[in-house]
Structure 1
């Protein structure tokens, strides 16, 4: 039974996250532009999206959708497979706890970062290719696709460039860890009072959990995006793997040039996108899992 549930859990989480990412993809486009293109005047999400559509075409907000979805599929598989496998070994049929969920989330996140960072570096480059930047210090790219992007990055910048932003990404494993810790905690408390989750329950819990995690870690996400893009004419050390020294340097420079709020450029779009994505992902996850168990005539475990 546990093996069946793990399989269903991975599939439904992947479907939910892909659906949500597709629906809210333009919000992520606006967020990335505001993080990387520091000199863009427009500050609100609607204004940025209108600029992108006006200057680059109606479909521009969806540029890079395929590589992002591909990376998301791989990332979800690695994360949820690692999380559920470790949970099976550690919990061994016992009731899970918030502390255990947090530890497992961190470990799964580290494994995910180390294995999938090259995919995210490439999809960040492809997503920003062809953008009308306000910052003249950004070096343009000419990638023909995912494979060509890998080839050019390795040829021109070295294989290590594929792991740009690894350090802030490792710190950011606390984002999904905090998210799942809050979500699982809320879920356990609710299921003590009711037999199953409602759509509203799943939506609200997913939204609140992700909102907290996103707000706490957003400055690191900004640095992560800059390092992954790696196309600024800045000090070369800022395009390396992203050591603590370089992360702190970028944070200081951001504050010096744009003030404290410079660390939060694009937070509106990111918060809206991630909160809605997380909420919809968990909603789809719970509904598809419950529906599948009903079709199979199996009893849906409340504690898993």
Structure 2
């Protein structure tokens, strides 16, 4: 292989596996931040209800550190990992679907354009939005169940199956598993901004570089996720409110739309309430995205090397098979020639 040759592009499933693996590892490492940001986002601080709790949990948290200490004191360290299995399942399925469809639509777009140039920023955002929408349609039920698990009071903890049944047995029925779908479809701008910014920053900071070092991939992932999180935080808060249990102050009446959630939060907390939990949300997003892209880059490189090795092994096997066929066929061919010569009539003048 010459030094100027580029690694063969991965098939969509290879990109998807690499992305899903990176996402699972990254989210597992920072999962307690996910619990904290979710619980901060479902609680509402207000004096309008005269003592009736507006949070779905017994505790009310004042900050990230306060939430961590209270969760450990109330539920033990395991409380920081409530709903972990369901969350990682959702992360794996969502990221596999996202990276698969992103690879498919980006490859198709590039072939259609046939210009040899990378897609423009608007095109990158559009491709990311399409891939995100396709991924959400198939994976949002897991996200709904996980959010319910993360906000369950300690005396009412349930597994994935039981929580799923609880959602289905609510007034929404099976449609409850797709609660927040509209908000989720709107939120596809988050990964589209993230990966659009990632591609742009990569071309700006590391032009022409095929394989990034772990630190470079981490930096790009963190910067791109920070931009996307700040831009979409109100929608993230509204989506969590939709998918969690309704606050006790609503007497069991669930929210019907993310605009209703946002109006409720603004009424009780003001506009800044739409940015609650942004600290752990931002920290979690930066760490996860940085680790994800760092791991994804390594996984993609491993897949490229694996595919190259498999091709090399296959070529060797084909050469050996050809040599065996040649060895067996040559004597037969010579014998056939001799028989033809022996059978040919001798012509005399």
Q: What TM-score range do you get, normalising by the shorter chain?
A: 0.7 to 0.9
In the other structure, the counterpart of 1:215 is: 230
Alpha-carbon distance in 2 for matches of 1:195, 1:171: 32
Aligned to 1:188: 203
Aligned 8 A contact 2:8 2:304 in 1: no
Number of aligned pairs? 284
Residue 83 in 1 paired to residue 98 in 2?
no
Q: Matched residues in 2 for 1:194 and 1:108: separation?
A: 25
**1:290/1:3 Cα in 2 relative to 1: closer, same or farther (>3 Å)?**
closer
What is the deviation of 1:253?
Answer: 2.3
In 2 relative to 1, CA 248–295 (structure 1 residues): closer, same or farther, beyond 3 Å? closer
Secondary structure of 1:129 counterpart: coil
CA deviations 1:240-259 (Å, max 9, x no partner) are 3x2xxxx3332222122122
Say whether 1:15 aligns with 2:18. Answer: no
Q: CA deviation at 1:232?
A: 2.5
The list of structure 1 runs, each at least 4 consecutive aligned residues, that deviate by more than 4 angstroms after superposition, is 235-238, 295-298
Distance (Å, rounded) in 2 between the aligned partners of 1:236 and 1:107: 35
Change (3 A) 1:28 1:4: same
1 CA distance for matches of 2:174 and 2:278? 31
Give distance in 2, aligned partners of 1:117 and 1:14.
Answer: 16
Pairing 1:206-285 to 2, within 5 Å after superposition: 206-233=221-248, 234=250, 238-240=254-256, 242=257, 247-285=258-296
1:99 aligns with 2:122: yes
> Are 1:151 and 2:165 counterparts?
yes
Show CA shifts across 1:47-76 (max 9, x none): 210110011111110111000011111111
1:122 aligns with 2:145: yes
Distance 1:112 1:197, change over 3 A: same
| Unaligned ranges ≥5, structure 2 | 1-6, 46-58, 310-349
- C-alpha displacement at 1:236, in angstroms? 7.1
| The structure with more radius of gyration | 2
Q: Secondary structure at the match of 2:85?
A: helix
Picking from 45, 48, 65, the partner of 2:84 is: 65
- Residues 170-208 of structure 1, C-alpha deviation per residue, up to 9 Å, x if partnerless? 111100000000101122234436564222221111111
1:200-211 mapped onto 2 (5 Å cutoff): 200-211=215-226
Structure 1 unaligned spans of 5+? 132-139, 299-304
Measure, in 2, the Cα distance between the counterparts of 1:120 and 1:196: 32
Residue of structure 1 aligned with 2:93, choices 74, 77, 84: 74
| C-alpha separation in 1, matches of 2:19 and 2:94 | 11
> Shift of the alpha carbon at 1:41?
4.8
TM-score by length of 1: 0.85
SS where residue 199 of structure 2 aligns?
helix
**Equivalent residue number for residue 302 of structure 1:** none
SS of alignment partner, residue 286 of structure 2: helix
The 8 Å contact of residues 230 and 239 in structure 1, kept in 2 or not, is answered as no
Q: Which range moved further: 98-107 or 20-29?
A: 98-107
Residue deviations 1:200-223 (CA, integer Å, cap 9, x gap): 221111111000100111111111
The question of whether the paired residues in 1 share the 8 Å contact of 2:19 and 2:292 is answered with yes
- Secondary structure of the residue aligned to 1:96 is coil
Superposition deviation, residue 155 in structure 1: 2.2
After alignment, is 111-120 or 61-70 more displaced? 111-120
| SS of corresponding position for 1:59 | helix
